[in-house]
Structure 1
Amino acid sequence: MSVSAAHLGGGEQQQAAAVEPPQKRGVTGYILLLPGALWLTIFFLVPTITLVSTSLYDPAGSVETGYSMTWHWQNYVDGIRDYGVQFGRSLVYALLATVACILLGYPLAYAIAFKSGRWKNLMLVLVIAPFFTSFLVRTLSWQLLLGDNGFLVETLKTLQLLGPDGHLLATPFAVVTGLTYNFLPFMVLPLYASLEKIDPRLVEAGHDLYASPFTAFRKITLPLSMPGLVAGTLLTFIPAAGDYINAELLGTPTTRMIGNEIQDLFGAGAYPVAAALSVTLMAVIVAMVFLYVRRAGTEELV
């Protein structure tokens, strides 16, 4: 009887505990989120709303007379019609630079993660070392490297890989090269973070099952590094698509990107069309990013 009573008492206690109301969550979490939410509201949400509203202003206004809100959706049509070529060129250049960063960055990140040994920290410092120099200075240095009298052009001419009148500066190649160089660390670091987490014993197990090095890479290393690859692609493609420094310093009027046109339009006071182009660029990039992440199979990054 005492045992049964004990069991009964224990069951009643468990049942009573199960029906107890859940404890109320404190406000500590919301307080911790407040600074970040405030920052995003002031420096992201408000500017975005302002940009969208500016894109709907009457383009007949001016800086001196001011602009009036007329819900002028034609600004978007005019922007795409007049600057569609530069818009498409920006996406192509950004895509080429992203692919180049993958081809260069993946082997580098792989070597740092698995082959660098005690030199790992030094190699990581070398990857981020360019950030200690101004973005503008780094881009200007490529003018010297790709100049007609530079070592690279002279070497290519000596090897007859470039014609006597050939040049690299002021070409699409120069613009894509500058984009690749400036945004390569944004590809390497996420890739390294993903590769470094991979357990080497998984690859060894693949080899024990008679998988070739390529098969082990394709079946094990590459899938496990996909989050880093996706993150690196986004961190490279998004800023490259809106960049204008590389096209301004390394290109010509025939290689201008949409960022150059937006910058010139804002400088000339054509705020409505410039804002419309900016909003269009953001919308296109967001749509492309969403589709890319879905296709890559890493929905948790959305």
Structure 2
Amino acid sequence: MSETVRRKGRTGYLLLLPGVVWLSLFFVIPFYSLVATSLYNADGSVFRGYEMSWAFGNYTNAIQEYWGPLVRSLVYGGIATLICLVLGYVLAYAIAFKSGRWKNLMLVLVIAPFFTSFLVRTLSWKLILADDGFIVNTLQALQLLGDDGRLLATPIAVVAGLTYNFLPFMVLPLYASIDKIDHRLIEASSDLYANPIVGFFKVTWPLSLPGVISGTLLTFIPASGDYINAQLLGSPNERMVGNVIQDLFTDAGDYPAAGALSMIMMILIVVMVLFYIRRSGTEDLL
């Protein structure tokens, strides 16, 4: 009997082995390399090499020099996440409760943009928001935009690109959560003399919170670290932290600053995510 138990125990460890190896090769080792890079001696260079000197001053220098892109990334990511939540909730609710036999088709249309390259989708927004494009001409005709006004190379363009590219990450978790809600509970709220608005905030919204939490995390984290939208749709004034890190690694060759900035952004997002989950009050993600 004990031999059988030992065999089952070894089988469990063997089943875990591929996952452990994968995480070690593609997460633990790269993460250790990034931490080490962030603590290199800042006086080194790509040609002379760097020495490990536990230079924690790299972190303070990175914050002092690049606090603008750090804050901008969090703000842009937060605005895009909020817009995605509003648009995604309406769309997910409509798919779950109103689409009927068209439900599967609408879900396919939600994920259809993933069939094309992220880069191609972003470049298409560059055409849509062009200075001589339909949207800018229409806004100028309606006097909502000045004759020399533009959308491209502005924060609006960057946030619009982030919203479009990451909207499916919001819709799918919301749909999965809303679709599980028993519609009889919503009908019961109206039977108890609750108007649609009160019924939504008392019944639908609380029951869909797991999807809201999952969707906002899946949207905010990649949106804050994105650099393609700011590179193609923005200007130097809209540079996000991803653009700075890319330039430090590839153009400037300042590996310690790039590593420190990457770690700072990672720590900020982890702290914000943990605080957000704790404050949300949902036990499904804890």
| TM category, shorter | over 0.9
Question: Aligned to 1:270, which of 247, 251, 254?
Answer: 254
Distance 2:93 2:166 in 1: 18
Are residues 1:211 and 2:194 paired?
yes
2:12, 2:159 → 1: CA distance? 44
Q: Name stretches of at least 5 consecutive residues in structure 2 with no aligned partner.
A: none
Matched, 1:112 2:95: yes
Q: Which amino acid aligns with 2:79?
A: L
- State the match for 1:11 in structure 2: none
Q: CA deviation at 1:34?
A: 2.1
Partner of 2:217: 234
Q: What TM-score does the superposition give when structure 1 sets the normalisation length? A: 0.91
For 1:301, what is the secondary structure of its paired residue? coil
Counterpart AA for 1:285: I
Q: How big is each residue's C-alpha offset from its partner over 1:230-287, in whole Å with a ceiling of 9 and x where there is no partner?
A: 0000000000111100000000111100100000000021111100000010000000
What's 1:7 paired with? none
1:254 and 2:237 correspond: yes
Equivalent residue, structure 1, for 2:104 = 121
Q: Counterpart in 2 of 1:52? A: 35
Contact (CA 8 Å) 2:210, 2:284: kept in 1 or not? no
How big is the shift at 1:24?
4.0
Q: Which runs of 5+ in 1 are unaligned?
A: 1-20
Secondary structure of 2:69's aligned partner: helix
Quote the offset at 1:98 in angstroms.
Answer: 0.3
Deviations 1:100-123 (A, max 9, x none): 101110000000000000000110
In structure 1, how many angstroms separate the alpha carbons of the residues matched to 2:101 and 2:222? 33
Match of 2:47 in 1: 64
Which letter maps to 2:225? G
Identity %: 66
Distance (Å, rounded) in 1 between the aligned partners of 2:283 and 2:77: 23
Q: Deviations over 1:48-89 (max 9, x none)?
A: 111001100011111122111001111001100110011001
Does residue 289 of the first structure (1) align with residue 282 of the second (2)?
no
Find out whether 1:169 has 2:152 as its counterpart.
yes
> How far, CA to CA, are the matches of 1:228 and 1:202 in structure 2?
18
Query: Conserved in 1, the CA contact under 8 Å of 2:41 and 2:54?
Result: yes
Let me know the Cα RMSD of the aligned residues.
1.4
- Among 89, 102, 118, the alignment partner of 2:85 is 102
Structure 1 residue 41 displacement after superposition: 1.5
Q: 2:12 & 2:182 partners in 1: Cα distance?
A: 34
Shift of 1:31: 2.5
CA distance in 2, matches of 1:84, 1:222: 36
**Rg (Cα) greater in structure:** 1
Q: Distance in 1 between matches of 2:114 and 2:133?
A: 24
Q: Kindly tell me the number of residue pairs found equivalent between the two proteins.
A: 282
Paired with 2:202 and 2:284, the residues of 1 have a C-alpha distance of 21
Distance in 1 of aligned mates of 2:60 and 2:162: 29
Question: 1:32 Cα deviation (Å)?
Answer: 2.3
| Aligned residue in 1 for 2:21 | 38
